[in-house]
Amino acid sequence: MAQCGWHTVAFPCLTRAIVSQLDQPTAGGQNRRMGWNILVTRRIPIEGIDLLRRSSANVRWHDEETPLPRGELLSQVRSCDGVIITGGDRIDAEFLDAASKLKVVSCIAVGYDNVDLTEASRRRVTVTNTPDVLTDACADLTWALILGVARRVVEGDRLTRSGEWQGWAPTQLRGVDVAGKTLGIVGAGRIGVAVAKRGTGFSMRLLYFARRAKPEMEAFGARLVTFDEILRESDLLCVHVPLTPDTRHLFGELEFRKMKPTAFFINMARGAVVDEAALVRALRERWIAGAGLDVYEHEPQISPELLQMPNTLLLPHLGSATVETRRRMSVLAAENLLAVLEGRLCPNIVNPF
């Protein structure tokens, strides 16, 4: 709920949990000095909010885990100069039309596929993201999925808790070795490189697919291959590309059919990079051995069949979810927003115009 010292706005048209600095009297009984109007659409770590509060901005904060209903979002953003948004908010022409004063959309995420950059740029609305600070957290969780699917970690946990475990048995819950296997990395951005770096510790053969050779990848012994090769050669194939018109459904029936029947598919990028129906078929019909997924095509909806399959390890979009990383993302999102509004240099603009 509301952070201490703030109080809930009492207008029935507003979400209960939206709190506002506008309504907070200062020691002298006056309202804070009016500044930029900023909306934060979701609960974020307090450090970013504190940063905004220390500026002269008027901050409205939807301090809830769930997104603002669309109608309310559109009405809240009407008077805003800046907004901090999460992946669940769709920033399209309708949103931007409703926000005629808007100067900056600050994404608390590295991915910004939920923002229509063309429409934003057309209206001279700057869009920013939070790269770098989440690279290690996302690479670590990729490895959690890799080891989780290869070594059947979740199944083991379930068996241990079930009360049915009879003790050590030579053929029980056998996974597959990771050491010595081929790790394919699709996408050679920051996270892909950090996944490769970790792969060197597991004595793996590292392959990657990208538009061009990346010295950072080669430094870890990874070899650039064609898309076809990476599909056919990988024992563990992980995806680290942004969602764009070019990468939507990059993985479909054709691609899964090319993979080894013993291979595991890991998606930490965006759900729509994968045709989820084709993935379900690939898993059901054993074209591939299993999948570790952090993202889904129609998030938060998940194909019901995926939920039933023993050869899937499913996480609820936790890539960057550590206390330290989310704190850094919160601060960076606030810094980006204030830098744009105040006309200072901002290194994280994704739509320079």
- Cβ contact 155:97 at 8 Å: no
C-beta closer to ligand DGY: residue 45 or 235: 45
Does residue 85 contact residue 65 with C-beta atoms inside 8 Å? no
- 40: nearest Cα among 10, 13, 67: 67
Q: Which residue from 242, 235, 144, 232 is spatially nearest to 192, judged by alpha carbons?
A: 242
The verdict on 272 binding ligand DGY (CB under 6 A) reads no
Residue of the chain from 111, 156, 175, 252 that contacts ligand DGY (CB under 6 A): 111
Q: Which two tokens stand for residue 347?
A: 């290194």
Residue 270 a catalytic site member: yes
Kindly state whether residue 141 participates in binding ligand DGY, applying the rule CB under 6 A.
no
Report the distance separating Cα 61 and Cα 71, nearest Å: 16
Among 123, 299, 305, 327, which one carries the catalytic annotation? 299
List binders of ligand DGY among 306-345 (CB under 6 A).
Answer: 319-320
Residues 73-102, mask of contacts with ligand DGY (x by CB under 6 A): --------------x---------------
Closest CB to ligand DGY among residues 21, 348: 348
Whether residue 62 lies in the annotated active site: no
**The binder of ligand DGY chosen from 102, 109, 146, 207 (CB under 6 A):** 109
Cα separation of 69 and 64, whole Å?
Answer: 12
Report the residue number, 111 or 175, with the smaller CB distance to ligand DGY: 111
Using CA atoms, how far residue 10 sits from 17, 18, 29, 63, 72, in Å, is 10, 9, 19, 15, 15
Of 31-39, 52-60, 103-111, 177-185, the segment contacting ligand DGY by CB under 6 A is: 103-111
**What three-state secondary structure class fits 209?**
strand
Q: Could you give the residue numbers annotated as active site?
A: 270, 299, 317
Residue ranges in contact with ligand DGY by CB under 6 A: 87, 109-111, 134, 319-320
